[in-house]
């Protein structure tokens, strides 16, 4: 649901930019961009939380077996999930803060390009 809201906000922001072509009318899409960035941050945080929950559960299950060699790979996956998920969530939050602080600046646009990567 959060992903759909983020995608809807992104399409809505794009439509607002097509409808309001003048730079002076750029503020018409403020609600769309705010929706897009806030839902993107929430979606990234939710994905990271779900992945961590499943990976930690799998690690705890593997720890019950003495001969299991899954602990090290699962620990690496947990660390990678925290690093990448935390980075994308933080980037989306920073992009939202930069946009709400100064919507007329192009720095928030540059940050938005990296969100999909």
Write out pLDDT tens, residues 70-92: 888 999 999 999 998 888 888 88
**Is residue 22 pLDDT above 80, yes or no?**
no
Q: Classify 62 as helix, strand or coil.
A: helix
Q: Classify 1 as helix, strand or coil.
A: coil
69: buried, middle or exposed (CB in 10 Å: 19+, 13-18, 0-12)? exposed
User: What is the rounded average pLDDT of the residues 50-73?
Assistant: 87
User: Taken in order 107, 117, 80, 56, is the CA torsion positive or negative?
Assistant: positive
- The pLDDT-based confidence of 55 (bands split at 50, 70, 90) is very high
**Is residue 100 pLDDT above 70, yes or no?**
yes
Q: Which pLDDT does position 102 carry in this prediction? A: 79
CA distance 6 to 96: 13
Tokens matching residue 1: 């649901």
Cβ–Cβ < 8 Å for 55, 77? yes
**Is residue 50 pLDDT above 90, yes or no?**
yes
Q: Which pLDDT does position 79 carry in this prediction? A: 94
Terminal alpha carbon distance of the chain: 20
Q: Which contacts qualify for 104-110: CB closer than 8 Å, 24 or more apart?
A: 104/26, 104/27, 108/33
Is the whole-model pTM more than 0.85?
no
Domain ranges of the chain: 2-115
Write out pLDDT tens, residues 35-44: 878 888 888 8
Q: Which pLDDT does position 92 carry in this prediction? A: 85
Q: Which of the residue ranges 18-22, 30-34, 49-53 has the most confident prediction, judged by mean pLDDT?
A: 49-53
């Amino acid at each position: 649901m959060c992903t759909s809201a983020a995608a809807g906000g992104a399409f809505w922001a794009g439509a607002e930019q097509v409808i309001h072509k003048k730079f002076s009318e750029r503020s018409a899409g403020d609600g769309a961009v705010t929706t897009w960035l806030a839902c993107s941050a929430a979606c990234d945080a939710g994905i990271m939380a779900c992945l961590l929950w499943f990976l930690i559960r799998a690690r705890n299950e593997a720890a019950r077996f003495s001969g299991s060699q899954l602990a090290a790979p699962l620990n690496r996956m947990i660390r990678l999930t925290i690093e990448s998920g935390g980075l994308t969530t933080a980037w989306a939050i920073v992009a939202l803060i930069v946009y709400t602080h100064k919507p007329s600046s192009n720095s928030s646009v540059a940050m938005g390009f990296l969100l999909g990567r």
